[in-house]
Amino acid sequence: MVDGGDTQDIYMLRLLPNIERQYLEDSDYYEEYISETFNENINKSRYISDSFQCKNMLSVNNSAVVTGGDIVVKNQVTNMNNAILCSIIGDIHIEANNISVDGIVYAPMGTVYISGDNINISGNIIAQKIEITGRYNVNINRKPGKLETLLAEVPSAVKYGAEDTDEIDIGEIYCKDISSDDDIIYVGDGIYCVKNQILLSVEENVPFSTVRDLVNNYDANIVGYIELTNDYQIEIEHDVEVDELIEIKDSLAGMPYILSADFNNILEENDKFHTNDTLWYFDWDEKTRAGKDVVAETIKLKSALIKCGVIENDSTSSDDINTSMLYNVKIGIIDSGFDEWNPEGDITYTKVWNNYDSLYDLKHTQKNADGTDKTDAHGTLCAGVMAAGFNNSRGIAGICVKNRLYAYARYNKNNPTSRNNNGIFNEKYALALMIGNNVRVISRSLGNNTAFQAYMNDGNAIKDITDEATQLNAFLKKLIKK
């Protein structure tokens, strides 16, 4: 068993990626789960963003139950057979007459409470604090097999400055922007794309020259390339009609080493405790999430800071905040643009790609719907929420207390005033820059116009979102494996 005394050990937080990889790729998803059946038999893994509650007989077999919030089980019998119970930032409560655990009970940020008449544990319990109370019998046997399997691919923890450089060489990478809205065509089913262009995802060991020779047969050139994943943006040298573009796409998709051939879809962008940061709001209520603090309340930032030891309790003052146990996390943002020139700014950027040339350009290039200058930058706002300096007596405090911030401006210098900024290959380009540089968390803002239409059951909007998601899902699977 591992408790809070071993918080520097590798077990605490770094099992999560492997649990996700091994159990959650094909899991069922719930926002919250309250068991209403007499016998709750779980044979397929579940991810629950909030809490899991069970007051009936529970059996978890060869699968995992992973939650963002608490796991609360109060019943007569609880059985785990080669299984995992995991609460990412909450606690795990198991109270039953008979409890049999074969597997892992994992609450890296919380407490595991187990109480019952007869308790048999064969496996591992990992938490900041562990409390086990047995009325008659308590048998605990450490079973390392499952834990060792999960730990097999977990990298060792490293501190800021030791992981890698600020910018990593990820090989050749470039893309072509659209030159104007005239480059956009409609191909049906709600899909707009860049005319004369097709995107190719190619098997890993196929050389650039093979792809170049292939597309030359279609009177096309390679105008965008991501060496890291072997993805290509090709453009036919002459204008082709939609039907011919579809024929070329389908023909390329039939080649044995081509994983996929797609249109270059257009992405439309729409626009209590306290630190000493001057605009910090501290009247938080994590159970009633609303108002200015809804984001911090929803992700339970205060609870996380307490459990990490950054603050002791609700009344901790700015002088008593301790961040020495934290290490820098590489975080990224893909958005409209970023104010990186303000000498009094509260955001430190490690790397910014494709940004405006000056603050004046940032404020006076983009236009609102009525044609007036769009003087605010959504990217700067979101970057502040993510990464503004913490407890530095200025402005707001970012969610990520220690960070290195990487930013990519979704800005097309050839077509700067258009809301149709670019194709999906440019998005792949941005993601490759981020993930290739080991960025761990990425915020990607695209507005909500198409999403709202899809929510209202607009068939074209649903098709548009589905097509984009399919392309990016396949690309990200390749990219993350790298």
Alpha carbon distance 14, 157 (integer Å) = 8
pTM of the model: 0.66
Q: Which of 76-90, 204-218, 222-236, 300-314 has the lowest mean pLDDT?
A: 300-314
| 321 or 449, which is more confident | 321
Amino acid at 82: N
Two tokens at 434? 């981020």
Q: Give the model confidence (pLDDT) of 376-409 as tens digits.
A: 678 888 888 888 887 777 767 788 888 889 999 8
Higher pLDDT, 467 or 446: 467
How many other CB atoms are found less than 10 A from the CB of residue 5?
9
- The winner for highest mean pLDDT among 75-84, 203-212, 301-310, 349-358 is 203-212
Stretch 403-425: mean pLDDT: 76
Cβ atoms of residues 114 and 137 within 8 Å:
no
- Sequence-distant (6+) residues with CB within 8 A of 328 are 159, 160, 402, 403, 404
Phi, psi (degrees; rounded to nearest 5) at 267: -105, 120
Instruction: Identify any residues that bridge with 410 across adjacent strands, giving them in sequence order.
Output: none
CA distance 250 to 260: 9
Q: CA-to-CA distance for 230 and 173, rounded, in angstroms?
A: 10
Q: What is the pLDDT of residue 48?
A: 92
Interval 290-295 mean pLDDT: 62
Query: What pLDDT is stored for residue 369 in this prediction?
Result: 58
* Residues 51-60, mean pLDDT to the nearest whole number: 91
* DSSP string for residues in 373-400: B--S-HHHHHHHHHHPPSSSSSS---SS
Task: Indicate if the pLDDT at residue 14 is higher than 70.
Answer: no
Least confident of 41-45, 83-87, 105-109, 152-156: 152-156
In three-state secondary structure terms, 229 is: coil
* pLDDT higher than threshold 80 for residue 353: yes
**Rounded to 5 degrees, what are φ and ψ at 148?**
-65, -35
246 backbone φψ class: left, alpha, beta (φ>0; ψ -120 to 50):
alpha
DSSP secondary structure string for all residues of 272-295? ----S-TT------SSS--GGGHH
Using a pLDDT cut of 70, give the percent of the chain over it: 80
For 140, phi then psi, to 5°, come to -125, 120
pLDDT tens per residue across span 104-162: 999 988 899 999 999 999 988 988 889 999 989 999 888 776 677 776 655 444 343 44
Beta strand 191-202 with 258-268: parallel, antiparallel or unpaired? antiparallel
257 pLDDT tier (thresholds 50, 70, 90): very high
Q: Which two tokens stand for residue 13?
A: 């937080």
Paired with 67 in beta bridges are 48, 87
Q: Classify strands 191-202 and 184-188 as parallel, antiparallel or unpaired.
A: antiparallel
Whole-angstrom Cα distance, residue 333 to residue 396? 18
What type of residue is 205?
Answer: N
First-to-last alpha carbon distance for the chain, in angstroms, is 34
Among residues 428, 409, 433, 425, the alpha carbon closest in space to that of 358 is found at 409
pLDDT band at 319 (very low <50, low <70, confident <90, very high): confident
Highest average pLDDT, of 180-184, 305-309, 372-376, comes from 180-184
User: Higher model confidence: residue 34 or residue 381?
Assistant: 34
Q: How confident is the model at residue 9 (pLDDT cuts 50, 70, 90)?
A: very low
What is the reported pLDDT for 59?
93
What CA–CA distances, in Å, run from 189 to 285, 446, 473?
A: 44, 20, 20
Residue 252, pLDDT above cutoff 80: yes
Six token digits for residue 130: 């562990």
pLDDT of residue 327: 79
